[in-house]
Amino acid sequence: MTKKGSIALAFMLAACDMAPKHVRPALPTAPAYPADTAQPAGEIRAADIGWRDFFVDPQLKILIATALEHNRDLAVSVARIQEARGQYRIQEAERLPELDANGAYTRSRVGAASLSGQGAVPAGRSGVEYSNYSASVGVSSFELDFWGRVKNLSKAARESYFSTVQAERAFRLSLIRDVATTYLAAREADEQIALAERTVKSREDGLHIAKLRLDAGVTSALDYRQAETLLTQAQTSLASLRLSLAQNRNALEVLTGQPLAGDLPPPLPLEGQRLDRAIVPGLPSDLLDNRPDIISAEDSLKAARANVGAARAAFFPRITLTGDAGFSSTSLDKLVGKDGLGWSFGPSISLPIFDWGATKGNLDVAKARENIAVATYEKTVQTAFQEVADALAGRRWLADQVAAQQRAVVAQTQLADLARTRYANGVAEYLEVLDAERNLFSAQQALIQLHRAEEQNLVSLYVALGGGLKGAE
């Protein structure tokens, strides 16, 4: 074989890659979102809107910014990126020869008894003393990667690093969503508390009137006790809501990584959040490029397939090179020179013959992990599709629920006014007032809950479509 042919063969072997070719799995979802929920309300893509532009509440913006800076789980996620980057650098270094430089000096003495009969000991001397200087550069166990084992291990480390980066970006999105969701729950609790406090005050006044009527003999003790029941129900609800608000504030402190500042700007009411409703959903295939959790899952799949290639290469011989060149002399001033030059070079080869199935087992493990990565990727895509579809359905139907509940509150208010009038005129019993007041309070609470659910659903849609990364890194 000619010299050029040998070089070509060497390059061909070096380019050998036994990893499965990466092909993105087929989309395991419908090609489009349900037609009755996915009608675009505008032309704005979620991925093009920064979170500072999407949220309008000044207090919420400060809380999100604080969380992105101080959240402890996010700090762990960032540290994992550094860890993965270091692992990739370590593995990538295996593809290049490692050069070691060594220098040594020794002073030795050999006794006369060891040299007897060799004529090396001058008369009257009990031994020989001498110095030795050495300096060398060597390559130790550099693998010629004919079968792509080292290359695939490096590729697996690189893809794992990329996956970790995307996982950190996905966590940032989830953190933004969690802060916004908890904040909206706190705003709901605030508004529920204000409603409950007004209701308690109104029912305290009603109980006072009922007591006067009871003392005057105009009404019965039953009516008085029913009015008292109305008041205690509102007081119980108020205490529960205050507990919920305290828990939401505690959760916000954990998410932001520090106590809530006392000088935060005043919050906007739920109806004043004005979250963008004009986000266009696009197609499910757009999620593959916009959702960092999907990108992370695909990077993990690439890493798993690279590991399969490394496991297959383990069945073939491993050829390593070792070499050393340097100088050695008993005199420092004569260390460097052709008289002190020495070198060694030699390849070695190892071939697995019988390892009781360990190599085959490693390949089976790598293939199984590839299958797991494929299933994980498909599940991640399906989950993303469901999150978007659910949020689109919420955008479509929660608005109708809010409108219907607003009409219900108006009707219940009129019904309560009528019941109180009928009772005052002696036409109806107080039980009718009791039911009307209770139903009005429940309707008002439900309306506040729906306002929060509608705004929270828009946050979920925004994040599910990959929005929020601008300005979050």
Comparing 124-128, 225-229, 283-287, the range with the smallest average pLDDT is: 124-128
Q: Which of 127-131, 199-203, 213-217, 240-244 has the lowest mean pLDDT?
A: 127-131
CB burial string 372-382: b at 16+ within 10 A, e below? ebeebbbebbe
- Nearest residue to 241 (alpha-carbon basis) of 183, 187, 192: 192
pLDDT digits (tens, 9 = 90+) for 385-400: 999 999 999 988 998 9
* Residues 153, 149: Cα–Cα separation, whole Å: 6
- On the question of pLDDT at 113 being above 70, the answer is no
Coil, strand, or helix at residue 453? helix
Contact call for residues 187 and 194 (beta carbons, < 8 A):
no
Across the range 82-95, mean pLDDT stands at: 73
pLDDT at 11 (0 to 100): 44
The helix (run of H) or strand (run of E) holding residue 346 is: strand 341-350
pLDDT exceeds 80 at position 259: yes
Q: Are 230 and 203 in contact (CB under 8 A)?
A: yes
Task: Identify which of 49, 40, 27, 25 has the alpha carbon closest to the alpha carbon of residue 286.
Answer: 27
Evaluate whether 180 touches 55 at the Cβ level (below 8 Å). yes
Please report, for residues 229, 428, 434, 442, the alpha-carbon distance to residue 416 in angstroms, rounded to integers and kept in the order given. Answer: 17, 12, 9, 12
pLDDT tens sequence across 303-346: 999 889 888 887 878 777 777 766 676 666 666 666 667 667 66
Is the Cβ–Cβ distance between 38 and 282 less than 8 Å?
Answer: no
How large a percentage of the chain has pLDDT more than 90?
A: 33
Average predicted confidence (pLDDT) for the chain? 82
Provide the pLDDT for residue 322.
Answer: 77
Average pLDDT of the segment spanning 402-409: 94
Q: Residue 252 pLDDT more than 50?
A: yes
pLDDT value at residue 451: 94
- The pTM assigned to this predicted structure is 0.81
Query: What's the pLDDT score for residue 351?
Result: 75
User: Taking 90 as the threshold, does the pLDDT of residue 382 lie above it?
Assistant: yes
Taking the C-alpha atoms of residue 382 and residue 16, their distance in angstroms, rounded to an integer, is: 35
- Mean pLDDT across 405-433: 87
The pairing of strands 99-111 and 127-144 is antiparallel
CA 234 to CA 445: how far, in whole Å?
Answer: 11
Mean pLDDT over 436-461 rounds to: 92
- Superfamily name and number for 98-144+318-350: Outer membrane efflux proteins (OEP) (2.20.200.10)
- The pLDDT of residue 468: 85
pLDDT of residue 349: 75
Under DSSP, the state recorded for 161 is H
Amino acid present at 360 = K
Amino acid at 310: A
For residue 113, count other CB atoms closer than 10 A to its CB.
Answer: 9
pLDDT, tens only, 161-194: 888 889 999 999 999 999 999 999 999 999 999 9
Mean pLDDT of 63-78: 88
Decide if 84 contacts 160 (C-beta within 8 A).
yes
The DSSP string of 92-135 is: HHTTSPPEEEEEEEEEEEEEHHHHTTTT-S-TT-SEEEEEEEEE
pLDDT in tens, 205-241: 777 777 777 777 767 787 778 778 888 888 898 999 9
Helix (H) or strand (E) holding 6: helix 3-14
Choice between 251 and 348, residue whose per-residue pLDDT is larger: 251
CATH superfamily of 17-95+147-316+365-464: Outer membrane efflux proteins (OEP) (1.20.1600.10)
Question: Do the strands 318-329 and 99-111 form a parallel or antiparallel pair, or are they unpaired?
Answer: unpaired
Which amino acid, residue 193? I
* pLDDT for residue 249: 93
Distance CA 447, CA 108 (A): 94
Q: Say yes or no to pLDDT of 123 above 70.
A: no
Lowest mean pLDDT among 59-63, 216-220, 372-376, 435-439: 216-220
Note the pLDDT of residue 357. Answer: 81
What count of other Cβ atoms lies within 10 Å of the Cβ of residue 190? 17
In angstroms, the CA 171 to CA 181 distance is 15
Q: What is the pLDDT of residue 405?
A: 95
For residues 406 and 354, what is the distance between their CA atoms, to the nearest angstrom?
Answer: 77
Q: 3-state SS string over 392-437?
A: HHHHHHHHHHHHHHHHHHHHHHHHHHHHHHHHHCCCCCHHHHHHHH
Range from 34-43, 95-104, 204-213 carrying the lowest mean pLDDT: 34-43
Per-domain residue ranges of the chain:
17-95+147-316+365-464, 98-144+318-350
Say which residue the tokens 């009129």 belong to.
414
Quickly list H helices, 33-71. 51-54, 58-70
Return the pLDDT at 184: 95
